[in-house]
Structures are given as structure tokens and as C-alpha cells.
Amino acid sequence: MKVAIYGQSYRNNSGKYVKLLINTLLENGVELIIEQDFYTIIKEEVGLPEELATFSASDKVDPSFDLLFSVGGDGTLLRTITYVRNSGLPIIGINTGRLGFLATIQKDKIEESITDLVNGNYKIVERSLLKLSASPAIDDFDVLDFALNEIVVSRKNTTSMITVETYLNDEYLTNYWADGLIVATPTGSTGYSLSCAGPVIAPNAKSFVLTPIAPHNLNARPLVIPDNTEIRLRVSGREDTYLVSLDSRIATVPNNTDLIISRAPFNINLIELADQSFLKTLRNKLLWGEDKRN
């Protein structure tokens, strides 16, 4: 088995888990390659048993890899997809952060999870992505024009609302007067959209959701739409620019730029271990059913 590892940083008490991950993989005869910047961070702090190969953002993902470990929280896993892109390389996350809807391996389950992976006790689930195109083009998103969780337009440098003129398949929907608008995938429905009262959507649903952020028109509610819908947005406001974010990547965009959002032409593959499921994650993370009356 050949495995890549990516992380950004780690908390002081997480170093031992990073070391445990690497040592356990090596003990199981797994060939390792680690993202270059993360390797620099952990090499001295954690103490590694040997020199290991590294890769960087400019490297192409080798199709001989079996999977990629994301070490951190959900934000780290979202950054991981910028390395994987459309390669189809499966990703699995180790949660050294907090909530962890995407990074599902808990720190105390590292060894048994690796045993399951080595023995093939897992399945691959596909997650849809969003794609952004703009006129005029946004240079910051020239190559990385996709998002696993959400694409968001939001105000910048002002307390004033923005107006988001919204069309679905070229049919006018509405003008959102709000702090912004979230377009989320089913994967992203448990992220920013959820905190703005958006619905939870099952990962295999062929849907997207439009969730306004603090709308002034109070009758504006989240809207679930088919994922083959083309969404066109045009933003205006008192300031000359606003913000567009694709997951954790963000850019400043001038008013009246036409944004076209659609389903990306590829999926991201996430690994789900035998004892994991989306419904189990909901119960564990959102504490559904945790009520003394039940």
C-alpha cells in the first residue's frame, strides 16, 4: 500500500498522534510520502524514525497512491482536495481538530483504523463539488475553481448589506438583500450553511442549497435545488467590491461581475470505514437523541 499524508499544523497535544499514525503505517509495511511543508513542521517536533519522501502542490498526484490521509480538522481536509483535484485519489481524515464532519477518524482510533484500511475494510463514497466561472475572470480561481463545501459571496469592508441578484437556469429567482449568500453542496450542508439555518442534506442527494446570510428580507429562506441547475449571481452594494470564497480560498471581486456556479465535472472520493456512516456522524456530532427524555 502507498499512502500520502497532508496536514497544515497541529496542536501541541496532537504531535503524539501524528507520530502514532506514521509509525503504525510503517509497521504495516506502508510506503509513505508526506506533504513538504507539513514534513518540515513535524520532522523536528515529532521526531520521525527515518527520512521520508515528500510532495508539494506543484507535484502531480501519482496514480499509484492508494489513498491520502488528511491530518487535522475539516478545514484541513478541504485544503487537501486542492492537491487531489480530479485525480480520483481517495481521502480519509484524522480528526485532531474539533467537530469533524469530514475528518471522521478519532485520535484514539488511529491504530484500528489503519488495520481496517490495510485489510480493505472500507468503502469509497463520492461527494459532488461546485465549479465557479466568472466574467470577467477571477485570476485567484484560475485553476482551483472548485469547492467541496460551498461557494459564498459576502460583503467586504462594510456593515452595509449587499444585493445578490440570483438566476436559476437563466430564470430570475430573487434579489437577496443580506450579508451574503451561500451555495452549498450536500457535503457543505453541515458547514457554514447549517450555521445560517440551512437544512442538513444527505451526501448522496443530487441537490444544492442556497442559504442567505442574515437576510434583510425576512421571508427569504434556504432553497434546495437540483444539482444540474446553473446558478448565476450578480452582486451590488455600497462598496465597489465584495468577497467570493471557495471553501477556504477567498478573493476580492468587483461589483457587477457575473458569477456562474454549476456542478463540477468530477467528484471527490472519501473513504468511509466499516463502522462509520453519515447518520452515525450526525448523531455523534450534533448529539441527536442526547436527551434524558429519550
For the chain, the domains span: 2-127+267-286, 130-263
**DSSP 3-state assignment of 205?**
coil
Active site residue 62: no
Q: Give the residue-averaged pLDDT of 256-279.
A: 93
Asked if 268 and 148 count as a contact pair (C-beta separation under 8 A), the reply is yes
Strands 91-95 and 67-72: parallel
pLDDT over 70 percentage in the chain: 95
Give the chain's mean pLDDT: 90
Select which of 66, 74, 170, 258 is catalytic: 74
Model pLDDT, residue 136: 92
Indicate the annotated binding residues: 74-75, 79, 149-150, 179, 190-195, 214
* Averaged pLDDT, 56-81: 85
Residue 44 has pLDDT above 70, yes or no: yes
Q: Name the DSSP letter for residue 283.
A: H
Does 62 score more than 70 pLDDT? yes
Distances (CA, A) of 94 to 38, 60, 129, 136: 15, 23, 21, 39
Confidence category of residue 288, pLDDT binned at 50, 70, 90: confident
Give the pLDDT confidence score for residue 283 in this predicted structure. Answer: 87
Q: Which of 253, 204, 263 is nearest to 231 (CA)?
A: 263
Distance, in Å, from the CA atom of 194 to the CA atom of 180, rounded to the nearest integer, reads: 14
Q: Which residues contribute to the annotated binding site for NAD(+)?
A: 74-75, 79, 149-150, 179, 190-195, 214
3-state DSSP assignment of residue 18: helix
130 touches 261 (CB < 8 A): yes
For residue 104, pLDDT beyond 90: no
CA–CA distance, 274 with 110 (Å, rounded to integer): 14
Which residues in 41-119 belong to E strands, given as ranges? 53-55, 67-72, 91-95, 105-106
> Rounded to whole angstroms, how far apart are CA atoms 77 and 94?
9
**For residue 147, what pLDDT is reported?**
97
CATH 3.40.50.10330 fits 2-127+267-286, yes or no: yes
Q: Which residues contact 34 (CB under 8 A, 6 or more apart)?
A: 4, 5, 6, 42, 52, 53, 54, 55
Q: Is the pLDDT of residue 48 over 90?
A: no
Q: How far apart are CA 157 and CA 163, in angstroms?
A: 15
Specify the pLDDT at position 280. 87
pLDDT of residue 293 exceeding 70: no
pLDDT at position 12 = 60
**Residues making up the chain, counted from first to last:** 294
Q: What is the pTM of this model?
A: 0.92
Architecture of the CATH domain 130-263: Sandwich (2.60)
- The yes-or-no verdict on residue 144 having pLDDT over 70 is yes
pLDDT of residue 17: 86
Average pLDDT over residues 55-76: 83
DSSP 200: P
Please give the pLDDT value at position 225: 98
Whether the pLDDT of residue 164 is over 70: the answer is yes
pLDDT at residue 143, rounded to an integer: 86
Write down the pLDDT at residue 60: 61
* Residue with more model confidence, 12 or 288: 288
Shortest CA distance to 88 belongs to which of 65, 108, 71, 109? 65
Q: What is the mean pLDDT of residues 46-59?
A: 76
Query: Sorting pLDDT into bands at 50, 70 and 90, what band is 58?
Result: low
| Cβ-based neighbours of 17, under 8 Å, separated by 6 or more | 94, 96, 107, 110
